[in-house]
Amino acid sequence: MNLSEARTALQKARRVAVLTGAGVSAESGIPTFRDAQTGHWARFRPEDLASPEAYRRDPETVWQWYAGRYADVTRAQPNEAHRLLARLERAKGEGFFLATQNVDGLHQRAGSQRLVELHGNLTHARCETCGTVAPLPAPDDFTPPPICPVCAARMRPHIVWFGEYLPERALEAATRAFQEADVALIVGTSAVVYPAAGLAFETLRKGGVVIEVNPEETDLTPYMSFGVRDVASRGLAALHI
């Protein structure tokens, strides 16, 4: 498959499923989890900040870390890649589905609606007792930890941590969408975190086309129908979205 054929396949597709990763938000200035561990945070391993065990051991430090990241994503703005995917959703209507590994909420702010967040959302917290999910106050007004508006218990970051399962309904919806897709786009993800990285194979097994947009080759690259070797915004633009 060449670029022209990839464009035609995407244009004609009735059902399109998209998986996005950190590369989509990199152009908005949002560092990856590990890249953000500078200064004071450089002495922490990811497991020190993003696991149930770490939270039980030191909830104050974990909340300080996530409060800082929350402030960062609130200042960031959606970039052209987010906007192009929102445009693609408008073009495909109910035939469109987006699954994101990102936790910054930028897809929604760009206008995407038909999506699931596989790893949670930094801008929300979840009650440790009753499970209520609620948005955080504005960063300047936020003093962690937040208190549940329903039962007044302490809330935790609404993030999927190391050792936790992805939200079952979100993963089921994503799997179904990729199984039914005529074309799937894998955008800005290193494709090393499963089960999300396996969604591409759901489309391939059903005979669909899978297009990867990434400046670097990944473990998925040998299996792809076509690859655009560029950052997310330019790669999506090259597909004439």
Q: Please tell me whether the peptide bond between 145 and the residue prior to it is cis, using omega within 30 degrees of 0.
A: yes
Mention the CATH class of domain 3-29+78-119+166-238. alpha beta
The residues that are catalytic are: 119
Residue whose pair of structure tokens reads 């059903």 in the numeric block: 206
**Category of 116 on φ-ψ map: left (φ > 0), alpha (ψ -120 to 50) or beta:** beta
Nearest alpha carbon to residue 159 among 112, 202, 190, 118: 118
The alpha carbon dihedral of 87, 88, 91, 92 has a sign of negative
Give span(s): CATH 3.40.50.1220, the chain.
Answer: 3-29+78-119+166-238
- Token representation of residue 176: 């179904």
Residue 85's pLDDT band (boundaries 50, 70, 90)?
Answer: very high
Residue 74's pLDDT band (boundaries 50, 70, 90)?
Answer: very high
| Whole-prediction pTM | 0.93
Q: Which residues does residue 155 pair with via DSSP β-bridges, in sequence order?
A: 127
Single-letter residue type at 41: W
* Tens digits of residue pLDDT in 124-147: 999 999 999 999 999 999 999 999
Cα dist from 182 to 1, 156, 157, 177, 240, whole Å: 15, 38, 36, 10, 17
Residue 136 and residue 55 in contact, taking contact as beta carbons nearer than 8 Å: no
CATH of 31-75+121-159, one of 3.30.1330.60, 3.30.1600.10, 3.40.1410.10, 3.40.50.720: 3.30.1600.10
106 sits in which H/E element: helix 106-110
* Tens digits of residue pLDDT in 14-57: 999 999 999 999 999 997 777 767 776 777 887 889 999 999 99
Summarize the confidence of residues 180-202 as an average pLDDT: 92
Task: Count other Cβ atoms within 10 Å, centred on residue 11.
Answer: 12
For residue 221, which phi and psi values (nearest 5 degrees)? -50, -45
The pLDDT score that the predictor gives to residue 40 is 66
Residue 73's pLDDT band (boundaries 50, 70, 90)?
Answer: very high
Give span(s): CATH 3.30.1600.10, the chain.
Answer: 31-75+121-159
In the chain, what is the greatest distance between 2 CA atoms, to the nearest angstrom? 57
